[in-house]
Structure 1
Amino acid sequence: MDEDALVPGVAPYDGPAGGWGALRAVAVAIKDQMGASADTRALLRMNQPDGFDCPGCAWPDPRHTSSFEFCENGAKAVTWEATPKRVDPDFFATHSVSDLWQWTDHRLEDAGRLTHPLRYDPATDHYVPIGWDEAMARIGKGLNALDHADQAEFYCSGRASNEAAFLYQLFARAFGTNNFPDCSNMCHEATSVGLAKSIGLGKGSVTLEDFDQADAIFCIGHNPGTNHPRMLSTLAAAARRGVPIIVANPLRERGLERFKSPQHPTEMLTPKATRLASAYHQVKVGGDLPMLRGIMKALLAADAQDLAAGGPGLLDRAFIAEHTVGIEALRAEIDVQDWEALEQGSGLSRAAMESMAQVYATARNVIICYGMGITQHRHGTQNVQQIANLLLMRGNFGRPGAGICPLRGHSNVQGDRTVGITELPKEDMLARLDARFGIASPRKPGHSAVEALAAMASGDARALIALGGNLAVAMPDPQLCFPAFRKLDLAVHILTKFNRSCLLPARETIVLPCLGRTELDVQASGPQWVTVEDSMSMVHASRGRLKPAAEGLKSEPAIVAAMARATLGDGGIDWEGLVADYDRIRDAIEAVFPDFRDFNDRVRVPGGFRLTVGPAQRQWPTPDGKAHFLTAGDGGAHVPEDRLMLATIRSHDQYNTTIYGLNDRYRGITGRRDILFMNAADMARLGIAHGDRVDVVAAPDRVLAGQTAIHHDIAPGSVAAYYPEANGLLPLDGHDRQSGTPAYKTIPVLIRPAA
């Protein structure tokens, strides 16, 4: 588009995903963060059996690893953590909190690694160094000053290891609360809730090897080129053997179109790239449910036609009869769907949805992958369940090459939940925890992330312990969330790098620096290692080897244990003994979670082991032992006629709230983040020219001001803006009622000239 050149920092990107651009980006990340003397050996140990797990995405490692098992964004994550840049006491003596508030999120984290425990001094508006013992004493005093345990919120980031997460949930439950706002609440809680009701397990059912045997792969609502780049090699291998890859996504993403592997020299030296999507359907933002209903409606019609012609039909009736309940109710709901309404709701033609159904019906083994483009809606749970319905119709569970594949973000967000980070614990788990440690765990349900922020805003919650993350920035509604942080009596942030949440001081605010995933962790019994669970339920070891960023840094398990001792005293739990040898933590995990049987032995096998995934064996851990077809009711995105539907998106130089840089290479954006991606026809209809400055309005008091509107290949009726900058458009109450997942990807907005 010629006019792209008229907008600074906006130009077409014509290359494939990966390729030389990825290699250059890795080189720049190493140079910018680690310097000329960079120890790049860390990258060679990433995702290797004797190395550390990537701090980024949760895509699984192949059983036979190569010398290079990292992607561009994984390299950025490692260099971001292994940087020699430091924020030490001199840094905080120079910069006040008011000064740092003016910095961008990128600049805050780019300043470097934390080196000392810190305490906010309101008299000077500076963070000042504090000793570890004093920090723990203040934390214990603050927690014990609460009227009751439910006034504390224990937030957990998905980067915490299984060992740290297990100790953390033990600490909170011994203290007396199930308040576990978690990063999973903001991304895949719709999966945890939706699939649990559908197939009995809130996780995916496939393995990496299943992709080698799939006859068709559907990719819905995700962008692997940016959010899980190692998946591209898997998709490329499938595409090269002729497997149709059907994409449904509002934006055309290069990581779903073409890929050139930067780790294969012969491919890099040829002009060709592997074509990924065999069909690309640009579903309207929020239109996934009508699309899925349309696919099922077309499948049911084709099934009836085949039966009428004397054929066996297209549904797997034997599977449905033996393993499922509820198909008649679903069929009745689908039958009354009007094609015109489905077309309008999805933004796709009937022919497009019928073509998707035809590919699905023709393939014997089908995998459906999805990301937050499915879950982060007011109807996210229904979206997930309709994907499961579609797979159940043809028995695409429990056989090689078939199943459901939720694409998780953080490398252990799934594992944290597995070892007890949940606000809704099951009684049998609590009983085993109590028996193992001699405590009386609370039975009252705790707070999710949305509920925790609401409690903080109302004053019902007075303390926050944050094990990693950047909660204030990650949540919607900063207009409500930021003041809520400042109302707390106690806030504790356990981090490798300083971030904006630390700039919202409570009456007592303490920042504790911790070891990173890449660093050597030495305890009383010697060097330690931790475990993580990937998005396909594989549990494996992660061993950091780099020298810690500063002398005296503590590991997350050690910090959690120290806080527990300072708060609870000994209380019959040998916190020091558990931390002295992480094998003891793993023995405790095994005692509380039987699926971790022989944990220490099995995880020492290279590659680790897989947890039990019942649906992969056609075993359904639901109350009646059956998989359930579930109706969606009146779910779906309802957009007023004068509004467009906005989705928040991440840039290519970003991982969740961490901004590595200001570029978004595959979308053609350089050096800026003030971009509103719009459909050209919508812009023409609204009288907006490419490059115009506009305000995005969700409500009179919810405005994202001064965005640059650009033509982009996005579905009509849809717009996109960067996360977390656009979070203020979404109220805290704007979430899926079943799962509590914030609706970051269905925000009705008006676009007007910038004020």
Structure 2
Amino acid sequence: MQKTKPEGRIEPYQHAAAGWGALKQVAINLVREKVSGGNYKTLLKQNQPDGFDCPGCAWPDREHASTFEFCENGVKAVAAEATSKRVRPDFFAAHTVAELLTQSDYELEQHGRLTDPVVYDSASDKYLPIAWDDAFALIARHLKALPDPNQATFYVSGRTGNEAAFLLQLFVRMYGTNNFPDCSNMCHEPTSRGLPGTVGIGKGTVTLEDFEHADTLLIFGQNPATNHPRMLGELRDCAKRGATIVSINPLRERGLERFTSPSHPMEMLTNSSTSISSMFVQPKLSGDFALIKAVAKRLVERDDAALAAGEASLLDREFIATHTTGYEAFEQDLRAQDWDQLLAESGVPRDQIEALAEVYIRGQKVICTWGMGLTQHKGAVATIQMLSNLMMMRGNIGRLGAGLCPVRGHSNVQGDRTMGIEEKPAKAFLDRMQKVFDFEPPRAHGYDTVESIQAMLDGKIKVFFGMGGNFAMATPDTPLTFDALRACDLTVQVATKLNRSHLVHGKDALILPTLGRTEIDLQQGVPQGVTVEDSMSMVHLSYGMNTPASDNLLSETAITARMAHATLGSGKVDWLAYAADYASIRDSIEKVFDDFHDFNARVAKPGGFHLRVASREREWRTASGKAQFLLRAVDTDTPIHRARAKYGERLMTLMTARSHDQYNTTIYGMDDRYRGVFGLRRVVFINKEDLQMLGLRNGQWVDMVSVWDDDVERRADRFLLVEYDIPRGCLGSYFPETNGLIPLHSTADGAGTPTSKSIPVLLQLSDYQSSAE
């Protein structure tokens, strides 16, 4: 069957990241969103002492410095909130849910801000207006009717502020469940589960100050130019003063090659740029564990040679002896490890591994950063722990200029976890909640994201509540997730803009519109601020500056408080008093968490304050009281290994990724300019030699079929082949379009994170071809 070729083009991008191209996109987004002059001026107040905290990524700010720091993604996020476009009740009156489901994710985003709460009417297949009190009464009726509180689940997005997150977990635990699926489950959960076993806490050990002193940076599985653009400013400064930067990623990303800083006029005026990475290492997908273990093995070999020559040890033996346990067994395991296996599993030649080891050995102050390129694999927890092992070998944890740096995604994903959005809460936390609020919290572990989907499918969950995000599209196995949500008796979605999760709903359904972080939040005439915690454990206070998109919006905090009041009443907790004064919530937070002492006073200072991270100070909250070297073997019996044994070299491994014009599941535009894709999203990046081996051509259309042992056919059809610099046997494509290829239970061992970066697939020539063919 022939169809018209979609508009779009593939055109390799030859320029540095950012620069004039980024400024052009800022203008395009302001026009696209029809942002008025008064609102676009607030962009200059983003991350400023008298401004608001960026609602985008979790990269930290330098104490909200007075120098404006440009960030293209931040502009997109702010423009999306500041848009003049509106989705009012008359919009829903004009469109059935079935009609809206035919629109793309980009088209849904472009309708604008939600203005009023609406409830689904099955007779008309439309959303109808509902009063706020009636909406909360509907939620309360469903929750009270459940025979078991564990039949409800409460999803939290990383855009949710600390105050709303704390209040929500308090309400839900007083209601009686620990069902808290959240975005951490889908991204950095292997970090949160892996690091406590090695260094005692699931957070990074560095601050921005450490970047000023580091002489070496190893960047694993990240694309900062798209996902954390302000990070490039730090990398630029590091490169300018001579630090060695190594990019370790299957895709050779433009932003880690050259960067033109919009914040530095001379670079802009001269069209010059700064080289970022001096070395690129491209492991195959799921090859990071073997690569890191290979570097550790090489370090032992080089240390042997140094000692034999009468030179100083290359290991930090004082650190190992004083602060760690388990090194002897770890070293024996490295010595016994077969080199051929490491080379085969990593996909990296031995000379590159040895060169990478030399970079690490030369570094006196090394920072390792990583993103979801390390975490969304079956063996992700083991990979994070092996990276910790490597860093401990040379004492690169807990000293100035060195450390572990997981770079998280959405602005408050770490803060939500700190506030108790956690399906596996610690006993000490529950004990403190019991003492402060005088109730017995549930002790049994709740459902994470994947478990919640399965529980909905099994009829064990009847009510789904989503605080932000786009659950239907962010999660794996898309058709199954759709079935799960539709099996619920009630789905509730709190959001600023329309997305597909609002159209994949339960028998009863509510869409509750909320304030954005850029908007003024007045409670009883007093502006309220919300706090967030960034990737480096800095806590900031943020006040909105824009007039709300509608007079009928409620903040996330107010929505939570009124839902709790309607469901539980206010006999034990005065929920409405909390909603009237967010400072009172912070007063309660400091009673639960010792690190938040004097919360209101400390956060009122520009830049906020840093939460103490014990491992940064070489305090190890592990069972042994020391940092722990952990033995981890190379896994050669994974679903990918089994599929390759069956299908041979035709079996490809797919990774999903963001395009440059999206943030999480939010599609701002149809371009991915750094990868040379314009006007298209259904593309798949492939190595030139794999094209030849498969008998395919660059520019052909293919279907992808995932390979799994449950005999369920999972397909993603009509994708354009794009020849790209990616390792043999590996493919890259965008999510959420390819999320349906990820089996629901293909998750990281010990973390439950979907394996979005390691999906075994087969390619088939598609019936869909361009009109030119």
Which TM-score applies when normalising by structure 1?
0.98
2:685 paired with 1:673:
no
Aligned to 1:129: 129
Conserved? CA contact 1:289–1:635, under 8 Å: no
2:690 paired with 1:688:
no
SS of alignment partner, residue 39 of structure 2: coil
Conserved? CA contact 1:7–1:691, under 8 Å: no
Distance 1:423 1:394 in 2: 35
Describe how 1:475-494 pairs up with structure 2 within 5 A: 475-494=475-494
Aligned to 2:760: 748
Of stretches 558-567 and 261-270 in structure 1, the one that deviates more from structure 2 is 261-270
Distance 1:507 1:473 in 2: 19
Distance 2:280 2:389 in 1: 22
Conserved? CA contact 2:260–2:271, under 8 Å: no
SS of alignment partner, residue 405 of structure 1: strand
SS of alignment partner, residue 367 of structure 1: strand
For residue 495 of structure 1, report the CA deviation from its aligned partner. 0.6
Aligned to 1:406: 406
Aligned to 1:156: 156
Call closer, same or farther: CA 1:196–1:138 in 2, change over 3 Å: same
Aligned to 1:343: 343
Aligned to 1:731: 743
Aligned to 1:645: 653
- What is the root-mean-square deviation in Å for CA atoms of aligned residues? 1.4
Output the amino acid matched with 2:551: E
Distance 2:407 2:727 in 1: 23
Aligned length: 751
Output the amino acid matched with 1:267: E
Call closer, same or farther: CA 1:123–1:284 in 2, change over 3 Å: same
Aligned to 1:527: 527
Call closer, same or farther: CA 1:633–1:340 in 2, change over 3 Å: closer
Identity of aligned residues (%): 51
Of stretches 435-444 and 225-234 in structure 1, the one that deviates more from structure 2 is 435-444
Output the amino acid matched with 1:55: P
Cα deviation digits, residues 222-268 of structure 1 (max 9, x gap): 10000000000100111111111011100110011100001211111
Describe how 1:74-85 pairs up with structure 2 within 5 A: 74-85=74-85
For residue 525 of structure 1, report the CA deviation from its aligned partner. 6.1
Output the amino acid matched with 2:719: Q
Cα deviation digits, residues 378-407 of structure 1 (max 9, x gap): 111111111111110000011110000001
SS of alignment partner, residue 352 of structure 2: helix
Cα deviation digits, residues 73-96 of structure 1 (max 9, x gap): 110000011101000000000010
Distance 1:571 1:195 in 2: 40
Describe how 1:205-244 pairs up with structure 2 within 5 A: 205-244=205-244
Conserved? CA contact 1:697–1:751, under 8 Å: yes
Aligned to 1:702: 714
Distance 2:684 2:90 in 1: 39
For residue 632 of structure 1, report the CA deviation from its aligned partner. 1.8
Cα deviation digits, residues 167-219 of structure 1 (max 9, x gap): 00001000000000000000000000000111011010000010110010000
Moved >6 Å (runs of 4+): none
Describe how 1:492-511 pairs up with structure 2 within 5 A: 492-511=492-511
Distance 1:6 1:464 in 2: 37
Cα deviation digits, residues 130-173 of structure 1 (max 9, x gap): 00010010000011111110000010001000000000000100
Aligned to 1:352: 352
Cα deviation digits, residues 533-576 of structure 1 (max 9, x gap): 00000001111011000012111110000000111111310111
Cα deviation digits, residues 391-444 of structure 1 (max 9, x gap): 100000111100000010010000000011101111221122122222211011
Distance 1:170 1:525 in 2: 26
Distance 2:165 2:635 in 1: 35
Aligned to 2:375: 375
2:501 paired with 1:517:
no
SS of alignment partner, residue 124 of structure 1: coil
Call closer, same or farther: CA 1:58–1:6 in 2, change over 3 Å: closer
SS of alignment partner, residue 272 of structure 2: coil
Output the amino acid matched with 1:737: D
Distance 2:67 2:405 in 1: 26
For residue 524 of structure 1, report the CA deviation from its aligned partner. 2.4
Of stretches 428-437 and 536-545 in structure 1, the one that deviates more from structure 2 is 428-437
Output the amino acid matched with 1:668: G
Of stretches 334-343 and 581-590 in structure 1, the one that deviates more from structure 2 is 334-343
2:257 paired with 1:247:
no
2:664 paired with 1:656:
yes
Distance 2:381 2:27 in 1: 41
Distance 1:340 1:417 in 2: 40
Aligned to 1:265: 265
Aligned to 1:576: 576
For residue 312 of structure 1, report the CA deviation from its aligned partner. 2.2
Conserved? CA contact 2:153–2:465, under 8 Å: yes
SS of alignment partner, residue 511 of structure 1: strand
Of stretches 719-728 and 329-338 in structure 1, the one that deviates more from structure 2 is 329-338
Distance 2:41 2:80 in 1: 15
For residue 750 of structure 1, report the CA deviation from its aligned partner. 1.2
For residue 513 of structure 1, report the CA deviation from its aligned partner. 0.4
Aligned to 1:632: 632
Call closer, same or farther: CA 1:419–1:6 in 2, change over 3 Å: closer
Distance 1:243 1:525 in 2: 51
Call closer, same or farther: CA 1:571–1:447 in 2, change over 3 Å: farther
Call closer, same or farther: CA 1:6–1:36 in 2, change over 3 Å: closer
Distance 2:6 2:448 in 1: 46
Distance 2:586 2:386 in 1: 37
Output the amino acid matched with 2:663: Y
Of stretches 126-135 and 424-433 in structure 1, the one that deviates more from structure 2 is 424-433
2:71 paired with 1:71:
yes
Structure 2 unaligned runs (5+)? 768-773
Aligned to 1:434: 434
Output the amino acid matched with 2:668: Y
Cα deviation digits, residues 593-649 of structure 1 (max 9, x gap): 111011011101110110011111111111221111112224366431331111001
SS of alignment partner, residue 26 of structure 1: helix
Conserved? CA contact 1:226–1:652, under 8 Å: yes
Output the amino acid matched with 2:742: L
Which TM-score applies when normalising by structure 2?
0.96
Output the amino acid matched with 1:651: S
Conserved? CA contact 2:120–2:508, under 8 Å: yes
For residue 344 of structure 1, report the CA deviation from its aligned partner. 1.6
Output the amino acid matched with 2:512: L
Cα deviation digits, residues 296-338 of structure 1 (max 9, x gap): 1111100111111112211101100111111122222222222
SS of alignment partner, residue 554 of structure 1: coil
Of stretches 210-219 and 262-271 in structure 1, the one that deviates more from structure 2 is 262-271
Describe how 1:35-54 pairs up with structure 2 within 5 A: 35=35, 37=37, 39-54=39-54
Conserved? CA contact 2:289–2:634, under 8 Å: no
Distance 1:676 1:291 in 2: 25
For residue 35 of structure 1, report the CA deviation from its aligned partner. 4.1
Output the amino acid matched with 2:693: R
Distance 2:633 2:726 in 1: 28
Conserved? CA contact 2:281–2:348, under 8 Å: yes
Output the amino acid matched with 1:747: I
Call closer, same or farther: CA 1:504–1:210 in 2, change over 3 Å: same
SS of alignment partner, residue 684 of structure 1: helix
For residue 49 of structure 1, report the CA deviation from its aligned partner. 2.4
Output the amino acid matched with 1:545: M
